[in-house]
């Protein structure tokens, strides 16, 4: 198996790094269609399971912890240069982290969330129309900041290490992202569920609102906006991520 940092491993990561859905979306329709079909065929041959990427006879180690965070940040920094980024993927997580720690609302957020302690995992339930499996987004939040490189998609096992796990349907998370659904209100009503201290979460209504506002400031694209071909590619890519 090719270990993290080997030349073979770097080559595969560079390949994955070039698959940018927002960039492909901006190409002319025919190019988008052809490229999406080619990449879909490639992804069909790749299996991601038990911490390993298997492609043909080759196996590649999947980084974890800080190494995975560094990979996310490296890909995200390149993605962030595009006019728009895809919601939940590295370009978006890179920009969101920057917004939380350095953006226009950062100082206000630090004051509002100064008493907050505990990492949060956002659990997106399987969504059949998109063909999505369970997905988990991790946020290392503490005292009004987010730990560097901690915002990333993770496995269920890693998500369970968070102090708080908020679970909701895909449509609910899209409404949260748009500001139509207040997450603390949804938790109080029980339409979304929380593993953790609800009383503590209720005290964080203002910081939670500010996080949503910061997220909304990021020019982003959701899979719902893709063409059919790109939509299928996005489904496949997210399924692969969900398998890790």
Q: What is the tens place of the pLDDT at every residue in 108-136?
A: 999 999 999 899 999 999 888 777 788 89
Whether residue 242 has pLDDT greater than 70: no
3-state SS assignment for residue 204: coil
**Domain co-membership, 33 together with 117:** no
**229 in any annotated domain:** yes
pLDDT of residue 223: 75
Token digits for 136? 């988990």
**Domain co-membership, 139 together with 163:** yes
**Domain co-membership, 136 together with 239:** no
**Domain co-membership, 143 together with 161:** yes
Exposed/middle/buried for 22, CB within 10 Å: 0-12, 13-18, 19+? buried
**Domain co-membership, 33 together with 128:** no
> Torsions phi, psi of 85, nearest 5?
-125, 160
**Domain co-membership, 91 together with 211:** yes
Whether residue 147 has pLDDT greater than 80: yes
For the four alpha carbons of 16, 22, 25 and 27, in that order, the dihedral sign comes to negative
Whether residue 236 has pLDDT greater than 70: yes
pLDDT of residue 163: 95
Whether residue 243 has pLDDT greater than 70: no
What are the tens digits of pLDDT across the range 44-99? Answer: 888 888 888 899 899 999 887 778 778 878 888 888 888 888 888 888 999 999 99
**71 in any annotated domain:** no
- As a whole number, the mean pLDDT across the chain is 87
**122 in any annotated domain:** yes
pLDDT of residue 190: 92
Residue 107 is part of a domain; what is its CATH number? Answer: 3.30.1050.10
**170 in any annotated domain:** yes
Most confident of 98-102, 152-156, 199-203: 98-102
- What value does the mean pLDDT take over residues 201-228? 88
pLDDT of residue 74: 82
**Domain co-membership, 188 together with 108:** yes
**70 in any annotated domain:** no
Instruction: Name the β-bridge partners of 136.
Output: 123, 154
pLDDT of residue 141: 95
**Domain co-membership, 106 together with 191:** yes
pTM of the entire structure? 0.81
How many separate domains does the chain show?
A: 2
For the four alpha carbons of 234, 137, 140 and 99, in that order, the dihedral sign comes to positive
pLDDT of residue 68: 79
Task: Tell me the pLDDT band of 178, cut-offs 50, 70 and 90.
Answer: confident
What are the tens digits of pLDDT across the range 215-225? Answer: 999 998 887 78
For residue 218, give the DSSP letter: S
**Domain co-membership, 24 together with 38:** yes
Query: Taking the chain, what is the end-to-end CA distance rounded to the nearest angstrom?
Result: 16
**Domain co-membership, 14 together with 120:** no
**100 in any annotated domain:** yes
- Domain span at residue 225 reads 7-63+220-243
Task: Tell me the pLDDT band of 29, cut-offs 50, 70 and 90.
Answer: confident
pLDDT of residue 131: 73
**Domain co-membership, 108 together with 178:** yes
**Domain co-membership, 89 together with 150:** yes
pLDDT of residue 241: 63
What is d(CA 128, CA 169) in angstroms, rounded to the nearest whole number?
A: 11
Token digits for 67? 């190494």
The residue written with tokens 């964080």 in the block is 204
- What value does the mean pLDDT take over residues 1-29? 83
**115 in any annotated domain:** yes
**117 in any annotated domain:** yes
Token digits for 169? 């349907």
pLDDT of residue 6: 92
């Amino acid at each position: 198996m090719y270990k993290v940092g080997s030349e073979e491993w770097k080559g595969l990561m560079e390949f994955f790094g070039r698959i940018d859905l927002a960039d492909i979306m901006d190409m002319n329709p025919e190019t988008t269609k052809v490229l999406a079909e080619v990449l879909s065929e490639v992804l069909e041959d790749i299996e991601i399971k038990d911490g390993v990427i298997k492609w043909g006879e080759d196996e590649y180690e999947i980084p974890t912890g800080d190494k995975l965070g560094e990979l996310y940040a490296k890909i995200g920094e390149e993605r962030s240069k595009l006019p728009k980024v895809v919601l939940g993927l590295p370009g978006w997580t890179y920009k969101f982290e920057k917004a939380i720690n350095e953006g226009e609302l950062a100082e206000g957020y630090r004051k509002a969330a100064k008493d907050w302690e505990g990492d949060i995992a956002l659990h997106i339930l399987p969504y059949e129309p998109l063909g999505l499996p369970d997905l988990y987004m991790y946020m290392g939040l503490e005292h009004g900041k987010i730990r560097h490189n901690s915002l990333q998609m993770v496995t269920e096992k890693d998500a369970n290490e968070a102090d708080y796990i908020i679970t909701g349907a895909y449509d609910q998370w899209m409404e949260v992202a748009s500001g139509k659904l207040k997450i603390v209100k949804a938790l109080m009503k029980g339409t979304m569920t929380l593993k953790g201290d609800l009383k503590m979460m209720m005290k964080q209504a203002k910081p939670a609102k500010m996080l949503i506002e910061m997220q909304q400031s990021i020019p982003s694209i959701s899979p719902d906006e893709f063409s059919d071909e790109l939509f299928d590619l996005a489904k496949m890519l997210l399924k692969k991520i969900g398998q890790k």
